[in-house]
Amino acid sequence: MDNNVSRRQKRNSSIELLRLFSMLMIVGFHYVLPNTSNDWLLEQPVSIAKFVYQFVYMGGGWVGNFIFFTISVWFLLDRDLSLKGSLRRVWLLERELLFWSFVLMGILLVARHEGIYNEGVLWLLPKTVFPLLTGMWWYPTSYALFLIFLPFAAHGLQNIGRRNHRILVIWVLLIWGLLALIPFPSMQLDLSDHGVFVFLYWFIIISYCRWYLSIQSKEAILLILSGLAVEFVYWGAATVFFEMTGKKPDFQNFIFDHWKLPTMMIGFGLFVLCCQHPFHSRFVNYLAASSFGVYLIHYQPGIYRTWTDWFPLKEAYMSAHPIPDGALIILTVFSVCLVLDLIRQTLFRVTIDQHSGKWFEKIYSRIEAKVSGARRARHSRISPTVEEGQ
């Protein structure tokens, strides 16, 4: 009995490895993104290098975002969800955000003093002090908001039953899945590029799969191949159109961007395959615990500007070996950030993680006691009035 319990408590290292791989894809996306925003890469002639930079390095970004979110939500749905539990998770998330906010700001101040970083830093001060409230990083801010909605959303979806949940899934996939494949900005249909509503949209679909479906490896492979095929057709059509007309270069990125259905199909298929083929490795789990730290470090606004300036995509792309050069830069940034957060992870383990959530429990208990006291006082004032009326 004890062996079975301990075995269930072991993390599936296949999922943890996927978490690391997802963050690597996100770093690649962020490396290529600035040079597609100004159309430089999009206007380059068709080549194998361009295909790899767009389809592989950049195309995996929102696949990685979807996988990262799916891993978190999938296993949260195994637990008893409550507002207190969600607030506790936000509290623990904020600790890591504050740590990297102040450390990275300190690094930028030193770099500015030494002439390495030449941009202003004052505009980052409010974000440094209040990273979650000011959206220093969009993902944790949106995810924290989602956690607050989560227990109520999960309870509501369970109460409407399987049939109504399935109808809701069909409608959201029709509106933000199929209709969003029409390549016009107006077809976003109020779904924000970065925001909590994207997570609620994903949650409706993921929770239905978690509660009611059993997807096997063959179906997962079909999802991945179908998603890749759709992306390739869209990318190919947009590239040919630009080559022939010289117009609409940004359409080449349309299918890779934000919350498109093919990225969800690829991401969910990969997640299911990893669930179906588990293995256990302490080392992999240890590394994966720092994957979110990689995001916080490399995508802090000042740090992001610095490393993308140090490793200009144009130089890598125009080099003699553009594909391995680009891969090396992405791997280097990922590895350096991973090592830095492993240090943070060790520091936390011997300090604040010794009593993880202790201060939250104290503060929450005090607030709860005050609210209960106020409720009893209000009730005691009302009761005599009621008795007099009787």
How much of the chain exceeds pLDDT 70, in percent?
A: 91
Q: Give the phi and the psi of residue 40 in degrees, each rounded to 5.
A: -60, -55
8: pLDDT strictly greater than 70: no
Q: From the CB of residue 334, how many other CB atoms can be counted at a distance below 10 Å? A: 22
Residue among 92, 89, 64, 51 at smallest CA distance from 299: 64
- 312-341, pLDDT tens digit by residue? 999 999 999 999 999 999 999 999 999 999
Residue 309 to residue 295: CA distance in whole angstroms? 18
User: 266: exposed, middle or buried (C-beta count within 10 Å: 0-12, 13-18, 19+)?
Assistant: buried
Residue type, 133: L
Q: How far is CA 286 from CA 67, 197, 234, 298, in A?
A: 19, 31, 38, 19
What are the pLDDT digits (tens) for 55-67? 999 999 999 999 9
Maximum mean pLDDT: which of 176-190, 231-245, 356-370: 231-245
* Integer Cα distance of 60 and 353 in angstroms: 33
Q: What is the pLDDT of residue 73?
A: 95
pLDDT at 7: 40
Please report the pLDDT score of residue 115 as a whole number.
Answer: 83
- Residue in the block written with tokens 């109460």: 159
Q: CB of 216 within 8 A of CB of 276?
A: yes
Give the span between the Cα atoms of 108 and 280, in whole angstroms: 39
pLDDT tier for residue 199 given thresholds of 50, 70 and 90: very high
Q: Which helix (H) or strand (E) holds 318?
A: none
How many whole angstroms from its chain centre is CA 175? 22
Q: How many residues does the chain have?
A: 390
Reported as a pLDDT band with limits 50, 70 and 90, residue 2 is: very low
**Chain segment 128-144, per-residue pLDDT in tens:** 999 999 999 999 999 99
